[in-house]
Structure 1
């Protein structure tokens, strides 16, 4: 009996995600679902992204968290629109949660929405929320074994960000092994090594994101 129930949940979610996607497409907005474990550096990467791109792209952020609004408060300090979603213990955002808040944003005035999902490498990978792409953030402090332990998100992510490489020499993280495992899971994935503390790789990350926005807007305009 459990399998049909799960199928019903995912089926209902996918239907709402498609409706969300249609809204985003109609407004020419590129939507990124940013996924990673707690402490991987998602919010720090998001702050760097906003600083780099807010003068060239009109951005907004949706923050997912279990209970607090700490991350949303940090992002609000970057002077972009931000909406907090608290899941009250839920391990991921779903499409209905996104549907319930997007009306609070001036969609006609946006190029990019980044949705920072709840800190988790498992559940968020299973739920489409209407995004164009997923990106996964993996801190090198988490270990190079994580891609094979949590393969779904690495299979689905358009970009994998290997973060905190400024402290690589203080860990036993095997960069060659991690990159090999990630590309075996997803040969098309874009892998970027970053450090939010020293800005290593931030330009490559923001350039990828900016290009993704431009490609979508060009495709929408050509319809």
Structure 2
């Protein structure tokens, strides 16, 4: 009986995700589900992204968090449309939440929509949102064992950003081992070392976004 309930929850979410996918496809917008632990630096990466691509791509952000609008307030300073979803304790965003929120965004005037999911390395990987791609941020402050401890997140992601690499010497984080584990879990995944402090790796991440946008628009 319990298994049947879980299947029903995921099945209902998949229905909304499929509807979202059609909606985003019709509006020619590239959508990224941006995931990672609390404190991994997702919002900081987005801030650097706005600095690099703000004059080049038309972007919007959906911010997911349990409470407060602190992350949305940070993004708003860059003049990018942003809407906050507070889950009031929920550990992930689901496709229905995204669908309701996306209706308040001018999708027809966008190239890129980033959905910053709730900070969590487990649940967000299980719930499709109708996105084109998934990105995960792993901070060196979390430990290089996280990919093998939370394999689904890395198996389901199209790109992994190892963030705060400028702190690696102080965190006993083996970047080579982390990369090896991530690539073993998902052969062919893009893996980039990133530092929002020094700017390292941000260009490569932005190039990946540009390529995604170009590919989505070419299909249409």
TM-score, normalising length: structure 2: 0.99
1:9-30 Cα deviation digits (max 9, x unpaired): 0000001000001000000000
Secondary structure at the aligned position of 1:75 is classed as helix
Query: Counterpart in 2 of 1:158?
Result: 158
Output aligned runs, 1:25-104, within 5 Å.
25-104=25-104
1:140 maps to 2:140: yes
Residues matched between the structures, number: 220
Structure 1: give runs of 5+ residues left out of the alignment: none
1:180-206 Cα deviation digits (max 9, x unpaired): 110000001000000001101100110
Query: Counterpart in 1 of 2:216?
Result: 216
Deviation at 1:134, TM superposition (A): 0.5
> In structure 2, what is the Cα distance between the partners aligned to 1:137 and 1:154?
10
> In structure 1, what is the Cα distance between the partners aligned to 2:20 and 2:212?
18
Deviation at 1:207, TM superposition (A): 0.7
> In structure 2, what is the Cα distance between the partners aligned to 1:27 and 1:117?
22
Query: Counterpart in 2 of 1:179?
Result: 179
Deviation at 1:103, TM superposition (A): 1.1
Secondary structure at the aligned position of 1:148 is classed as helix
Secondary structure at the aligned position of 1:98 is classed as helix
Secondary structure at the aligned position of 1:88 is classed as coil
TM-score, normalising length: structure 1: 0.98
> In structure 2, what is the Cα distance between the partners aligned to 1:147 and 1:101?
31
Deviation at 1:107, TM superposition (A): 1.0
> In structure 2, what is the Cα distance between the partners aligned to 1:82 and 1:218?
26
Query: Counterpart in 1 of 2:188?
Result: 188
Deviation at 1:51, TM superposition (A): 1.1
Secondary structure at the aligned position of 1:178 is classed as helix
> In structure 1, what is the Cα distance between the partners aligned to 2:173 and 2:100?
40
Alpha-carbon RMSD across the aligned residues, in angstroms, is 0.6
Following TM superposition, the consecutive aligned residue runs of length 4 or more in structure 1 with deviations greater than 6 angstroms are: none
> In structure 2, what is the Cα distance between the partners aligned to 1:180 and 1:106?
40
